[in-house]
Amino acid sequence: MERVIDCPVCYNTDQCFEEIQETFSSFLCFSCGFMSDSRYLSGSPQLIENLKKSPKLIQEEQFEDKERGIVWFPSVINMGELGMIYPEGDSSYYHWRYAKLVHIPENEREQYGGYDKRLDVENAEMFKQNEFLKACEAMGISKNMKDNG
């Protein structure tokens, strides 16, 4: 079940969603681009392990949701064939990048480990920090959502 919630990070009231599963909830705000999971309890071993594997920007930008007792982070959204949205920059300023998945010509596959597709990060579209929704629209994962930007 999905429901709209007030975002604890940017305070948006109509673009932040909670997806309720059987044993946990996941959260994503299409306004600020932050996400969380009810298993990311402040100080929990799962959260600490996740942070160890996360880029410095995500570690620095974590936000504690005191109401829910969980931690939120800038999103990294990997949609396979649709590509990836990720934050780039540092804690003083970051932006969103959307990298498409592109076909690798057969004569170049050796330099990409034999793969036939790759993320085109060199030509990734850039979106301002407050344009996460626009990055999602470019990827094709959000349509007909009111943009309060």
Residue 105 sits in which domain range? Answer: 76-142
Q: What is the largest CA-CA distance in the chain?
A: 54
Is 70 found in the same domain as 1? yes
Q: What is the mean pLDDT of the chain?
A: 92
67-92 mean pLDDT: 94
Is 97 found in the same domain as 28? no
Q: Is 40 inside any structural domain?
A: yes
pLDDT digits (tens, 9 = 90+) for 46-63: 899 988 999 999 999 999
Taking 50 as the threshold, does the pLDDT of residue 38 lie above it?
yes
Residue 18, burial from CB neighbour count under 10 angstroms (0-12, 13-18, 19+)? middle
Q: Is 147 inside any structural domain?
A: no
pLDDT of residue 50: 87
What is the rounded radius of gyration, in angstroms, for the C-alpha atoms of the chain? 17
Taking 70 as the threshold, does the pLDDT of residue 137 lie above it?
yes
Is 87 found in the same domain as 37? no
pTM listed for this prediction: 0.87
Q: What tokens does 23 get?
A: 């044993």
Please count the structural domains in the chain: 2
Q: From CA 73, how far away is CA 95, in angstroms rounded?
A: 14
Is 62 found in the same domain as 7? yes
Please tell me what DSSP assigns to residue 109: G
pLDDT digits (tens, 9 = 90+) for 87-122: 999 988 999 999 999 999 999 999 999 999 999 999
